[in-house]
Amino acid sequence: MTRYQLAVLLFSGLCLQSISTAQTMTIWAGVYSSEQAARGEIIYNTACIACHGKDLGGNSNSPGLAGMGFMFLWEGRTLGTFFEKIQENMPTDRPGKLPAQDYVDVVSYIMQANAFPNGDNELPKDLDALNDIAITARP
């Protein structure tokens, strides 16, 4: 095996490892902190609660954000997709007008409401990083 072939092999291996890592990062890995979810709850109670309800159950005009309804709507997609959706469309009267940190804090609160485990680190507001976190059924 030449050095070139070896380098290609090693690089390919790193890439595969990277992809594999990205694919295995899920909402079940403790990707937000409880402090962040607490901040998100305050924002939710100001900007989201009137339509989606205090229990995040939604109503005829607003989808539920917890339980079976949430998983039906979002399983198989990434937190980045979810983040983008609410950032582009919510709150309905002023879509996109909250700071990005507020949106990601609300995402963490919704994760907490769905009993996805928390961890030591906060959920980042970086879209690429959020796109690396898959919404999957409980392993």
Partner 1 sequence: MIIRTAKHLGYPVKRVHAIFFMLTCLLSASFSVAQIEDFTYVTDQMLSNPPKGEWLSWRGTPAAWGFSPLDQINNENVDQLQLKWSFALDNTGAIQAAPLIHDGVMFIPSARGVIQALDAVTGDLHWEYRPAPPTEEFINSGAGNRAAVLPADAFAGVGRGVQKNIALYGEMIYASTETASIRAIDARSGLLVWETQVADPTLGYFYTAGPIIANGTLITGINGCDRYKDDVCFITGHDPETGEEKWRTSTVARPEDPGGDTWGDLPLRFRAGSDAWIAGSYDPHANLIYWGTAQAKPWARVVRGTDGDALYTNSTLALNPDNGEMLWYFQHIPGETLDMDEVFENILIDIDGRKSLFKMGKLGILWQLDRQTGEFIKATDIGYQNIVNLDPITGQITYRDGMIPRIGEELSMCPSTSGVKSWRAMAYSPKTSAMYIPITLNCELATFGPTERELGGGGAGPVRRINFHHPQSDGNLGEILALEIPSGEVKWRYRSRAPFNTAALTTAGGLVFAGDWNRTMSALDADNGELLWQVRLATSNQGFPISYSVNGKQYIAMPVGTGGASWSGSLPRELAPELSRPRSGSSIYVFALPD
Binding site for partner 1 (CB under 8 A): 46-47, 49-51, 53-55, 57-64, 67-70, 72-73, 89, 91-95
Q: Which residues contact 99 (CB under 8 A, 6 or more apart)?
A: none
The verdict on whether omega for the bond into residue 95 sits within 30 degrees of 0, i.e. cis, is no
Closest distance of CB 117 from partner 1, Å: 21
Name the minimum Å distance from CB 13 to partner 1: 38
Tokens of 60: 């005829």
3 vs 138, which CB is nearer to partner 1?
Answer: 138
**Kind and range of the H or E run holding 23:** helix 3-24
Tell me how far apart the alpha carbons of residues 65 and 24 are, in angstroms, rounded to a whole number: 23
Task: Work out how close the CB of 19 gets to partner 1 at its nearest, in angstroms, rounded to a whole number.
Answer: 27
* Residue number, 57 or 124, with CB nearest to partner 1: 57
R_g of the chain, CA atoms, integer Å = 18
Check: CB of residue 33 under 8 Å from CB of residue 119: yes
- Closest approach of Cβ 10 to partner 1, in Å? 42
Q: What are phi and psi of 26, to 5 degrees?
A: -130, 175
**CB nearer partner 1, residue 112 or residue 122:** 112
In the complex with partner 1, the residue whose CB is nearer, 84 or 124, is: 84
